[in-house]
């Protein structure tokens, strides 16, 4: 069945390349001038821009079939006028169409792929080129040329009064040198330069001058990427932002006009999902928003990726530690353990080095060696009358260790009392669930992202604050409300961080550790059959290459401030730094001091008892 409907033959011959250019008119048989003319025309088309595949629409008899042996290129024959299957045609295909209505391509994906391809239609005698161009423009296929049996060559032109031009096919007339022709083809040739040289291109970049045509767009009014403002000099609403600029710049470049909704106004915003929906319904050409490639199955509705980002959390900067706590945190158990081990080693060394034997060794001497304690705390201690050189060496070691430890603790204590350290940062989802903060998230997103990453149980579900109204979430986030943790893309964080620089102290930090997605490719949603998709994607790359995208990003926050869309209000709540240390701040130290005293008293009491019981014997 499929075989009947679609008779596809691939003629794959070896030595594909370069043969065509070698064919000269002289080599062709004189009797078949018509074939010769067409071959010459195909050669000229190939000089403009190379093609690597031939697709022929229409059934035999057809002039183009006769040319195939000479063309020696991979060929697809579509006799039924449609490819049915989703073919991956290359954009460098040349479509030869036997009659003006032979191409009835219905496969939307194939149509999309064939948009940049060039078409050569063999025009029947009674057909008007105007109608054919019109029919193709309605299908948004713009690279169309026609040749009729008399040898007239027409090429469609979208944005001109007459929608086609007639070109002279003087095959012996000079076209530009091959190299210049091939080089200049991909650049934007406008009509002016075309008429200056006496060489007229058959296929031109139609959209390089759109003569004021409309590009329908809509901003999502989210933060720095696309926002609306009222331009007093034109009296109209305009869009700005690092995504919106891309579109306005493109419109300027191709002499088009950006058209926003008529009823658009400040202060209203549309969920970006609705904008994407409008793009899918062909109501918008290019939307001024960003969509992740993860939300789409393919690139039919997306442009080439414009920017990449991560999607993580912005978390309130942890509070500073209480003064009371400082003493506790500097007595780190590991360091204390090391110090105690050092103390025992020094005690042993001291005991041994006095007489170079173990006669003085006893448990009490090891555990409570008063010389060693005093030495390590940096105090004076009595030296034996004639110390050996070993003993002197050990004392030196003790002095050195005491200097190290006492200065270390002193500097810790002093600097922490001046600038108390922060509480630990949240480094994982577990940390967040165990912290006092709650994650604020929109219901849709909670379903989409959060549940995948978070092991929510009934006991910790209250750690997530679900917001039904997304504008409410945005308002919370923009007012730097520190009760919550917010999911944010790095792009948005960039301007929050910029804003924070005007605060007296930072309020949030962007966590690179707790992420919902570490790498997202973001593209602009495009209408599926946008005919200038290629041109727009090239524009994206150019803007990236020349650093405009980065420049817009860097300036986006300043633009928002300049257009009074955000304020420089300080949302931080800095605590006045205390310039005194109160007794209450030292309670831990006193507790420690008391405990040590108590311990000493107990030791003393035991010693007394010991003396009473054993000393009286
Ligand atoms: C074709 O062009 C050449 C050189 O440009 C010219 O000499 C010749 O007369 C032209 N032929 C026709 C049929 O216009
Ligand atoms: C741009 O478009 C306008 C029509 O809106 C036209 O008058 C003008 O000539 C065009 N500019 C260029 C450079 O072609």
How confident is the model over 118-144, as pLDDT tens digits?
999 998 888 888 999 999 999 888 999
pLDDT in tens, 199-238: 678 888 889 989 999 999 999 888 788 988 888 898 889 9
Beta-bridge partners for 302: 525
Ligand 1: does its nearest atom lie under 6 Å from the Cβ of 175?
A: no
Residue 307 has pLDDT above 70, yes or no: yes
Listing DSSP states for 259-284 in one string gives E--TT--TT----HHHHHHHHHTTS-
pLDDT at residue 458, as a whole number:
66
Distance from C-alpha of 183 to C-alpha of 176, rounded to nearest angstrom? 11
Beta-bridge partners for 314: 486, 510
* Domain 27-183 CATH (choose: 3.90.640, 3.40.50, 3.90.1170, 1.10.760): 3.40.50
pLDDT at residue 119, as a whole number:
92
Q: What is the mean pLDDT of residues 565-588?
A: 79
| 19 CA to centre of ligand 1 in angstroms | 26
| 60 CA to centre of ligand 2 in angstroms | 44
% helix / strand / coil in the chain, to the nearest 5?
45, 15, 40
- Residues of the chain with pLDDT > 90, as a percent, come to 32
Q: The whole model's pTM is what?
A: 0.76
Residue to mutate (ligand 2; options 190, 252, 255, 259; most atoms within 8 A of CB): 255
Q: Which residues of 114-147 are buried (b: 16+ CB within 10 A; e: fewer)?
A: bbbbbbbbbbeeebebeebbebbbeebbbbbbbb
Instruction: Report angle CA 198, 117, 187 to the nearest 5 degrees.
Output: 45
Distance from C-alpha of 157 to C-alpha of 208, rounded to nearest angstrom? 12
Cβ–Cβ under 8 Å, residues 352 and 345: no
Q: Which residues of 563-577 are buried (b: 16+ CB within 10 A; e: fewer)?
A: eebbeeeebeeeeee
Q: What is the mean pLDDT of residues 325-353?
A: 89
Phi (first) and psi of residue 316, to 5 degrees = -60, 140
Residue to mutate (ligand 2; options 159, 205, 210, 212; most atoms within 8 A of CB): 212
Ligand 1: does its nearest atom lie under 6 Å from the Cβ of 161?
A: no
Atom of ligand 2 nearest to the CA of 212: 5
pLDDT at residue 192, as a whole number:
40
Distance from C-alpha of 406 to C-alpha of 400, rounded to nearest angstrom? 10
Distance from C-alpha of 556 to C-alpha of 565, rounded to nearest angstrom? 11
Q: Which ligand is nearest to the CA of 170?
A: 1
Mention the CATH class of domain 208-306+524-577.
Answer: alpha beta
Residue 365 neighbours by CB under 8 Å, 6+ apart:
347, 351
Ligand 1: does its nearest atom lie under 6 Å from the Cβ of 170?
A: yes
Round the average pLDDT of the chain to a whole number and report it.
83
Q: What is the mean pLDDT of residues 366-376?
A: 87
Ligand 2: does its nearest atom lie under 6 Å from the Cβ of 211?
A: yes
Mean pLDDT is lowest, of 75-89, 120-134, 493-507, for 75-89
Identify the CA nearest to 188 among candidates 534, 527, 540. Answer: 534
Residue 172 has pLDDT above 50, yes or no: no
Take residue 479 and report the two structure tokens written for it: 């007012």
pLDDT at residue 79, as a whole number:
87
Residue to mutate (ligand 1; options 25, 173, 176, 200; most atoms within 8 A of CB): 173
Phi (first) and psi of residue 148, to 5 degrees = -110, 175
Residue 261 has pLDDT above 80, yes or no: yes
Take residue 308 and report the two structure tokens written for it: 């990449």
pLDDT in tens, 111-124: 888 888 899 999 88
| 189 CA to centre of ligand 2 in angstroms | 15
Element at 106 (helix H, strand E):
none
pLDDT at residue 245, as a whole number:
94
């Amino acid at each position: 069945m499929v075989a009947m409907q679609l008779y596809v033959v691939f003629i794959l011959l070896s030595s594909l390349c370069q043969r065509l250019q070698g064919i000269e008119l002289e080599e062709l048989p004189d009797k078949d001038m018509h074939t010769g003319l067409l071959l010459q025309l195909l050669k000229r088309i190939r000089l403009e821009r190379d093609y690597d595949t031939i697709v022929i629409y229409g059934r035999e008899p057809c002039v183009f079939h006769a040319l195939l042996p000479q063309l020696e290129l991979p060929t697809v024959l579509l006799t039924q006028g449609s490819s049915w299957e989703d073919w991956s045609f290359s954009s460098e295909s040349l479509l030869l169409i036997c009659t003006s209505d032979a191409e009835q391509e219905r496969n939307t994906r194939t149509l999309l792929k064939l948009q940049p391809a060039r078409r050569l239609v063999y025009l029947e005698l009674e057909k008007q080129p105007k109608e054919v161009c019109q029919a193709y423009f309605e299908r948004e296929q713009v690279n169309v040329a026609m040749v009729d049996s008399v040898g007239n060559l027409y090429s469609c032109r979208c944005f001109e009064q007459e929608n086609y031009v007639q070109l002279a096919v003087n095959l012996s007339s000079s076209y530009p040198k091959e190299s210049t022709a091939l080089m200049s083809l991909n650049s934007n040739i406008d009509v002016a330069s075309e008429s200056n040289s006496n060489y007229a291109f058959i296929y031109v970049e139609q959209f390089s001058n759109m003569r004021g045509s409309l590009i329908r767009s809509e901003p999502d009014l989210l933060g720095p990427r696309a926002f609306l403002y009222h331009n007093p000099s034109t009296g109209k609403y305009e869009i700005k932002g690092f995504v919106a600029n891309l579109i306005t710049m493109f419109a300027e470049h191709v002499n088009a006009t950006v058209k926003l909704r008529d009823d658009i106004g400040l202060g209203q915003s549309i969920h970006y999902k609705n904008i994407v929906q409008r793009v899918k319904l062909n109501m918008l050409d290019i939307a001024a928003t960003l969509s992740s490639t993860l939300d789409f199955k393919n690139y039919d509705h997306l442009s080439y990726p414009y920017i990449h980002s991560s999607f993580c959390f912005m978390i309130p900067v942890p509070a500073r530690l209480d003064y009371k706590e400082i003493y506790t945190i500097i007595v780190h158990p590991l360091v204390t353990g090391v110090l105690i081990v050092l103390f025992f080693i020094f005690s042993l060394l001291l005991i041994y080095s006095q007489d170079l034997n173990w006669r003085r060794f006893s448990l009490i001497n090891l555990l409570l060696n008063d010389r060693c304690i005093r030495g390590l705390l940096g105090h004076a201690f009595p030296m034996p009358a004639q110390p050996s050189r070993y003993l002197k060496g050990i004392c030196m070691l003790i002095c050195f260790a005491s200097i190290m430890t006492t200065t270390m603790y002193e500097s810790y204590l002093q600097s922490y009392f001046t600038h108390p350290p922060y509480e630990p940062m949240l480094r994982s989802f577990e940390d967040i669930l165990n912290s006092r903060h709650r994650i604020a998230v929109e219901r849709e997103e909670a379903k989409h992202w959060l549940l995948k990453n978070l092991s929510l149980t009934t006991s910790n579900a209250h750690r997530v604050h679900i917001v039904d109204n997304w504008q409410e979430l945005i308002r919370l986030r923009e007012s730097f409300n520190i009760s919550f943790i917010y999911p944010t893309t790095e792009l948005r964080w960039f301007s929050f961080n910029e804003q924070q620089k005007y605060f007296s102290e930072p309020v949030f930090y962007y966590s690179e550790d707790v992420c919902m997605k570490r790498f997202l490719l973001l593209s602009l949603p495009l209408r599926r059959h946008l005919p200038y998709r290629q041109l727009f994607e090239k524009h994206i790359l150019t803007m990236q290459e020349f650093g405009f995208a980065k420049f817009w990003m860097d300036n986006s926050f300043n633009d928002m401030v300049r257009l009074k869309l955000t304020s420089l209000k300080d949302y931080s709540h800095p605590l006045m730094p205390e310039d005194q240390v109160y007794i209450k701040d030292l309670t831990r130290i006193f507790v420690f001091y008391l405990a040590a005293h108590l311990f000493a008293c107990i030791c003393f009491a035991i010693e007394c008892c010991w003396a009473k019981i054993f000393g009286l014997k």
